[in-house]
Structure formats: C-alpha cells, structure tokens
C-alpha cells in the first residue's frame, strides 16, 4: 500500500524496530525473534483498523525535547547513561589538575562527580530547564547557558573537558569540536561520549579529530562493539577519547 502519510502502524513498526535493536544490543536473542515476528505481523495490517490511521509527528528541537525530560532525566532506567557513566567517570578521574569544562552538562551528572572529587568545574548547557535542575542539585556551582558552537569561556581556560551524549544532536559537529579545542589548555584532555545509535556520525567525528592531528588508539574500557578512540585532539597535542 502506497501512502504519503505516516500511519499509526508505521509508528508501531518504528517502536518495534527500536525494541529489536535494544534486544540485540543486550544479546537477548529470543526477544529479537519476538520483535521480528511482531514487525512482520504489523506490516501486514497497515491498511486495517487503527494501524491505517494517520499519525502526526511534530518536530521538536533539542532544547524543547530536553525541557520535557529535565524533571525525569536523572530517574533510574536510562540504559545509555548506565553504560556510559562508569567508563566516562574513570577517564575523568585521570584528567590533569586544573579547571574542567562539562560541555552540555545537562542536569550536572558528570559535574557532580567532578565536584565531589574536589575539582573546579564549569558547566555549560543550552537548555535552561536542564540547568535549573543542575542548580537544584548543585547549589553555587558555576553553571552557564551557552551553545556548544560558541562556548562562554576564554581561550585555553580549562585543563580538561567532557562532552557526554551531546554531539550527536548537532547537524555539524565541526564547530563544537573546534570550540572544545579552543578552550582547552596545551596538554589538556577531552572526553567525548556518544549514544550507541550514533555510530556512523561518531566515525565522522573520529575522522575530523584525526584531521586536526589526532590518532586513534584502542581503549579496553570502552564498551563493545566499537573500541576506537580518537586521541590528541589538535596541534597542541591535547588528548581526548570518544567512547561509543
């Protein structure tokens, strides 16, 4: 059946597809087969009943989306955060002395870890709703509203930076990477993490970092399937890691 609209059935197929990918990532292969059977069933019903009804899919910007998630963002059950957090924090614990930037800090989850370790931290985020949650959690913390492509920091003002689960939202990562390099001191370190679904774009990020004089190395702490991390971000030989 040809259609020029998104149907309720298409939406269900999309959700089932995400569930299939999640089951595969968790190596729960019996659930993969369940999802495949359900997708096949729904695909046969697109011209019947509720599955054939039109569904509106409004587009929301990143800030609007996070404004709606700010209150619940720190709730348990976020598998991506659970996978990413211990790996990133182990890298943050190795950062050189000096101030650290948490770029796209959100509700301040990595910032809280750094502050608890006695580090000087600057948090920057474009979402006022996420910053408001961070201010509730971290009274007195240095939190600033700003864009990844125009960070509100001076050149070479931090010895380390973390940008967690954020660059994949950008249509072009280049300006944000350039800004991270701009504010980093010589010899500083950057840690970048991405959601597993951003694999292709992360590969482009790695290529971009290598064009800035970077290299790729294996990091055994990075979760499978990808363990390639771009290192030494720019000509000042600052170091970085991009985790899947």
Give the range among 44-48, 104-108, 129-133, 191-195 with minimum mean pLDDT. Answer: 191-195
Yes or no: say if 230 and 205 are a contact pair by the CB < 8 Å rule.
yes
Which H or E run contains 15?
Answer: helix 8-25
Which CATH number covers residue 178? Answer: 3.40.50.150
Q: Are residues 197 and 149 in the same domain?
A: yes
Q: Are residues 31 and 97 in the same domain?
A: no
Taking only the tens place, the pLDDT of each residue in 136-160 is 999 999 999 999 999 999 999 999 9
51: which DSSP letter?
A: G
Q: Are residues 151 and 45 in the same domain?
A: no
Yes or no: say if 192 and 242 are a contact pair by the CB < 8 Å rule.
yes
* Residue 73 domain-assigned (yes or no): no
Residue with tokens 């598998």: 79
Q: Are residues 43 and 95 in the same domain?
A: no
φ, ψ at 50 (rounded to 5°): -65, -30
- For residues 218 and 59, which has the higher predicted lDDT (pLDDT)? 59
Taking only the tens place, the pLDDT of each residue in 63-98 is 655 555 556 566 666 677 787 888 899 999 999 999
**Mean pLDDT taken over the chain:** 77
- Can you say how many angstroms the Cα of residue 158 is from the centroid of all Cα atoms in its chain? 21
Q: Are residues 51 and 91 in the same domain?
A: no
Beta strands in 80-235, from DSSP E residues, in sequence order: 100-103, 121-125, 142-145, 158-164, 184-193, 215-218, 228-231
In which domain, by residue range, is 216 found?
79-243
Give the range among 64-68, 100-104, 115-119 with minimum mean pLDDT. Answer: 64-68
Distances (CA, A) of 143 to 72, 136, 170, 178: 20, 11, 21, 21
* Residue 68 domain-assigned (yes or no): no
173: which DSSP letter?
A: -
User: Which of 33-37, 97-101, 210-214 is modeled with the greatest confidence?
Assistant: 97-101
Residue with tokens 């970048």: 192
Total number of domains in the chain: 2
Omega before residue 225 within 30° of 0, cis = yes
Give residue 2's pLDDT.
Answer: 54
Give residue 244's pLDDT.
Answer: 47
164-178 average pLDDT score: 84
Confidence class for position 219, pLDDT limits 50, 70, 90? very low
Handedness of CA 147, 150, 153, 159 (dihedral sign): positive
Q: Are residues 199 and 117 in the same domain?
A: yes
How far is the C-alpha of 90 from the C-alpha of 114, rounded, in Å?
A: 11
Q: Are residues 86 and 129 in the same domain?
A: yes
């Amino acid at each position: 059946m040809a259609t020029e609209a998104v149907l309720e059935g298409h939406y269900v197929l999309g959700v089932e597809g995400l569930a299939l990918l999640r089951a595969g990532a968790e190596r729960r292969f019996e659930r993969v087969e369940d999802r495949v059977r359900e997708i096949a069933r729904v695909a046969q019903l697109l011209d019947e009943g509720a599955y054939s009804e039109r569904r509106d899919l409004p587009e929301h910007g990143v800030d609007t989306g996070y404004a709606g998630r700010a209150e619940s963002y720190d709730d348990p059950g976020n598998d991506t955060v659970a996978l990413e957090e211990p790996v990133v924090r182990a890298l943050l614990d190795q950062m050189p002395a000096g101030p650290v930037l948490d770029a796209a800090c959100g509700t301040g989850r990595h910032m809280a870890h750094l502050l608890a370790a006695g580090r000087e931290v600057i948090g920057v985020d474009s979402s006022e709703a996420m910053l408001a949650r961070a201010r509730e959690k971290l009274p007195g913390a240095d939190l600033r509203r700003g864009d990844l492509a125009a960070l509100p920091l001076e050149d070479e003002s931090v010895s380390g930076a973390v940008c967690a689960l954020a660059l994949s939202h950008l249509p072009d990562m280049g300006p944000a990477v350039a800004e991270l390099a701009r504010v980093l001191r010589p010899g500083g370190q950057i840690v970048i993490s991405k959601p597993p679904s951003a694999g292709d774009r992360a590969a482009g990020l790695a290529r971009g970092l290598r064009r800035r004089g970077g290299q790729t190395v294996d990091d055994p702490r990075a979760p499978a399937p990808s363990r390639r991390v771009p290192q030494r971000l720019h000509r000042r030989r600052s170091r970085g890691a991009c985790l899947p």
